[in-house]
Amino acid sequence: MFVTYKLSDKSFIKLQKKGLSEAALNDLAELKSRVFPSPEIFLNRVRKLPQAEEILKKEDDLLKIAKGFLRLDFVIPNRTIREWVEALIFAVVVATVVRTYMFAPFQIPSGSMLPTIQIGDHIFASMYSYGSPVPFTDIKLFQKPVFRGDIIIFPYPRDPSIDYIKRAVGLQGETLEIRNDQVLINGEPLDEPYAYFEPNEQKSRQAQGLSSASPVSSFGPVAIPEGKIFAMGDNRYNSADSRYWGFVDMNTISGKGQIIYWSHDPGQSLISGYKLGRVFDFLK
């Protein structure tokens, strides 16, 4: 880690509390705001001061107070450029914290959640809904349960580098079955006002008798293991979900879809295709 040594206004207040005399502090003022790349160089400069003997009696305190990490003033001497870089770093840190622990933006590239979420919708997901992640681990503090109907964000089980968004339909410990497009939980029909069956495709499938032969419309029954979720897209005839690739591990669920903050049809130009009526719609 990049370590430097520098005395600031706060440093002098701390050194005064440590018992340094006014004369010693006045001597050290000559070094104020100067950045030294190592403790040896810093102390060698201190030894040239008239009150060096008194100051070096507090050598350990002096080094501890002056020590700093990743100081840009040593790397970027120009103050204006340094302030811009510091502001940029601060913005990146804040954005990272907000995205990890509060809200993260996602863009929807497919129609698997139609009509709830449309292609080109930009949504915010709350990243605290199911617990607070511990950085660089799979641990979550203050874990909270996933409820049926939640719109969840999780890594695609077959390629974790891709974020998926689906709806939690079946919960751990339940038995799920699909008969002719109807989801049954423990043998009881599930009321799903959000489920969408494209009318023309539904008629075509029924005419071809596919509803009784395809996992899209007929599936299971399956017992959902502990710690797992059965997830499905609202657009039931056009969604790659748990019917095809299995359960979602609850520990991998990172967030809950909450609100649409922007919407633009990617098939349209930058001049047209905006769906301003969808902006600030809460997801249900």
User: Of 6, 11, 129, 166, which is the active-site residue?
Assistant: 166
| Beta pairing, strands 121-126 & 103-107 | antiparallel
What amino acid is encoded at 257 in this protein?
G
Contact, 234 vs 150, CB < 8 A?
Answer: no
Give the three-class secondary structure for 2.
Answer: coil
Spatial separation of the C-alpha atoms in residues 280 and 260, rounded to whole Å = 5
User: Of 11, 112, 211, 217, which is the active-site residue?
Assistant: 112
Segment (H or E) for 89: helix 79-101
Contact, 247 vs 224, CB < 8 A?
Answer: yes
Question: What does the block give as tokens for 229?
Answer: 């979720």
Annotated catalytic, 112?
yes
3-state secondary structure labels for all residues of 140-206: EECCCCCCCCCEEEEEECCEEEEEEEEEEEECCCCEEEEECCEEEECCEECCCCCCECCHHHHHHHH
Q: Give per-residue burial for 43-82: e unless 16+ CB within 10 Å, then b.
A: beebeebebbeebeebeebbeebbebeebbbbeeeeeeeb
Closest C-alpha to 2, from 62, 94, 76: 76
Residue 89 CA to chain centroid, in angstroms? 18
- Active site positions, annotated: 112, 166
